[in-house]
Structure 1
Amino acid sequence: MAPRSFWKGYLKLSLVTCPVAMTPATTDSEKVRFHSINRKTGNRIRNHYVDAQTGKPVRDEDQVHGFASGEDQFVVIEDDELDSIALESTHTIDIETFVPRDSIGWIWHDKPYFLMPDDKVGEEAFAVIRDAMRATGMVGIARVVLFRRERAVMLEAAGKGILAWTLRFGDEVRAADDYFEDVEDAKPEARVVKLVKALIDERTKDWDPSMVEDPVQARLLDIIEAKRKKRKPAKTRAPAEEPPPTPDNVVSIMDALRRSVEQEKKSGKAK
């Protein structure tokens, strides 16, 4: 059963409009989560918001948003003031422009959402926009208000639906050149690159979701289940050995690569 949508509104392209629903494309609900427990009583520890100066608890209705304007000085913003600046994108994803899919680097991608038609009447309009983007290799750029903040989103065809990626704000993405400028623009020897290509070829496989499974999560669940059944948890694996020292010259790199390629072929890791 598909999860319930957390946002409903309209997808708009010029005069074409259709009702849509959106839901997160990822989840962390299966992750192991811990509570803070009082070791002596076994009871949960509850957090309270307190006034930083008086130390007294603050009721929910007395908690408001504040923007720091100086040391221990804040500009208070009320909920109705936030609502007053709500934009049309609160309820409408209006596609403003289209760009080639490959022109948006992965670093701009923030969070993915599934976008789907919300009624039968709008399915045709939805399908037309989706299939036209797929046929042209383009993605739509629009804006939408999520969690009281307007976000730019990238829309791309994904199967029967549309994948909506919220995009990071401009001031969130750092310029790569600032960090790579001290890296020497060295050109490796062709024979070294050839050996690395051979190593890559030996390790090339088709993508599979199992490649990103969380082994720590699985071991945590084993420990939790063992404690629940009041039995001793199985031993975890030994700590990883220290990696060998990094080669400091081309000759040792060549030797290491040759041995690596030979080892890969012998171990049967080829695709």
Structure 2
Amino acid sequence: MSFGLVNVPVRLFSATENHDVQFRQVHEKDGGRIKYQRVCSIDGEEVPYSDIAKGYEAADGQMVVLTDEDLKSLPTRSTKEISIEKFVPSEQIDPLLFDKSYYLEPDKTGLKPYVLLRDALEKADRMALVTVSVRTRMTLAVLRVRDGVIVLQTLLWADEVRAPEFESLSEETHATAKELAMASSLVDSLSGDYEPEEFEDDYAEAVTQLVATKIEGGDITETPEAKGEETEVVDLLAALQRSVDKAKAARTGGAPGSSGSSVSAGSSDASDDDSSATSASRPAAKKATTKSAAKKTTATKKTAVKKTTAKASTKKAATKKAS
């Protein structure tokens, strides 16, 4: 964190976490998870992840495919510096602009300047407007103080906030003096301080209780082993083989990259080629080992399913006997 001529080493920690209830889409009959396939809208065929590129749809509907080289040419910032641009009055930052929040923890060597900046922000009743690189893309953020800790809160760009355009509110309509007096009276009667512990997510609590009740009653769907579990292993082996072929072609002066696929997301360098060439000396042994491991894993899973089914059957029988 850059504060004038002073650099303050800090670490970022996410200040919030999502406790929303998460459901899975399953087949009602057997509880199997619903999977989604990546299918091309033109030929209807499933597309492997290695053949998926980034595309930008223009306003007229035309699709522009962006290559890795195109993306590398875009302006990015790999710096980890949080650069303070200016100090602005707190009331000038609309809460609607706030996005993600992070706590800043000072390093031991930067404790004193950290405390200095924290106290200065509190005394001035201002926020520090900063630029910061998050996932290589520069964004705006503010520094503010909460419970004695500096909080970095990223901001939405101004054009990401929609303008409210409601025809029903366009007219100059206001409450009468009598209506306003009654509303003010209601506000006064319900006035108080914000106490977070007074409120709770009763929906999440009810879902948790419902699930616990069903588990205690033995109302659980035993999901059989899903078919096609070895598909990803086969795809990985194919990708490895293509990488080996690419490395061989590069060494013999052939056409490298003709397969158009590699294991890693980026382009292969010399070290990648060396490791690929080494692995090429015994591809059959690796394939056999992988298949053997896959069979062992499948057998283990089936045994676990049988044991779980047996336990569930015993539990249900005991419940019927008790009733």
TM-score w.r.t. structure 2 length? 0.60
Matched, 1:25 2:12: no
Q: Distance in 1 between matches of 2:167 and 2:151?
A: 31
Q: Which residue of 2 aligns with 1:143?
A: 131
Greater shift after overlay, 138-147 or 191-200? 191-200
Q: Alpha-carbon deviation of 1:206?
A: 1.5
In the TM superposition, residue 207 of structure 1 has moved relative to its aligned partner by 0.6
Q: 1:99 and 1:112, CA in 2 relative to 1: closer, same or farther beyond 3 A?
A: same
The one of 38, 41, 44 equivalent to 1:49 is 38
Tell me the residue number matched to 1:257.
Answer: none
Give the Cα separation in 2 of the matches to 1:142 and 1:211: 35
Q: What secondary structure is seen at the aligned counterpart in 1 of 2:101?
A: strand
Aligned match of 1:155 in 128, 136, 143?
143
**Corresponding position: 1:228 with 2:215:** yes
**What code does the residue aligned with 2:6 have?**
V
Within-5 A mapping of 1:1-271: 11-28=1-18, 30-69=19-58, 73-79=62-68, 81-88=70-77, 90-117=79-106, 119-176=107-164, 182-189=170-177, 191-230=178-217
Q: 1:90 to 1:212 in 2, by over 3 A?
A: farther
TM-superposition CA deviations, 1:193-233 (whole Å, max 9, x none): 3332222222122212235522221221122111112279x
Q: How many residues in Structure 1 have an aligned counterpart in Structure 2?
A: 219
CA gap 1:60/1:165 in 2 versus in 1, 3 angstroms: same
More helix per residue: 1 or 2? 2
Say which SS state the counterpart of residue 9 (structure 2) adopts.
strand
CA distance 1:77–1:176, shift in 2 (3 Å): same
Extract unaligned runs of 5+ from structure 1: 1-10, 233-271
How far did 1:136 drift? 0.6
Q: Which has the larger radius of gyration?
A: 2
Structure 1 residue 171 displacement after superposition: 1.3
CA contact (8 A) 1:108 1:168 kept: yes
Distance in 2 (alpha carbons) for counterparts of 1:107 and 1:143: 18
Q: 1:79 and 1:127, CA in 2 relative to 1: closer, same or farther beyond 3 A?
A: farther
1:25 CA displacement = 1.6
2:267 maps to: none
> In 2 relative to 1, CA 166–223 (structure 1 residues): closer, same or farther, beyond 3 Å?
same
In structure 2, C-alpha distance between the alignment counterparts of 1:89 and 1:144, rounded to whole Å:
10
CA distance in 1, matches of 2:111, 2:71: 33
State whether residues 102 and 152 of structure 2, in contact with CA within 8 Å, keep that contact through their aligned partners in structure 1: yes
Contact 1:90–1:146 (CA<8 Å) still a contact in 2?
Answer: no
* 8 A Cα contact 1:89 1:144, kept in partner: no
Give the deviation of 1:148 after TM superposition.
Answer: 4.3
Instruction: Give the AA of the match of 1:158.
Output: R
Alignment TM-score, normalising by the size of structure 1 = 0.71
Alpha carbon RMSD of aligned pairs, Å?
Answer: 2.6
What is the CA–CA distance in structure 1 between the aligned matches of 2:180 and 2:59, rounded to whole Å?
55
d(CA) in 2 for partners of 1:223 and 1:215?
12
C-alpha contact (below 8 Å) 1:89/1:143 kept by paired residues: no
Counterpart contact for 2:144–2:150, Cα < 8 Å: yes
Percent identity of paired positions between Structure 1 and Structure 2: 28
Structure 2, unaligned stretches of length 5 or more? 220-323
Distance 1:157 1:78, change over 3 A: farther
C-alpha separation in 2, matches of 1:38 and 1:81: 42
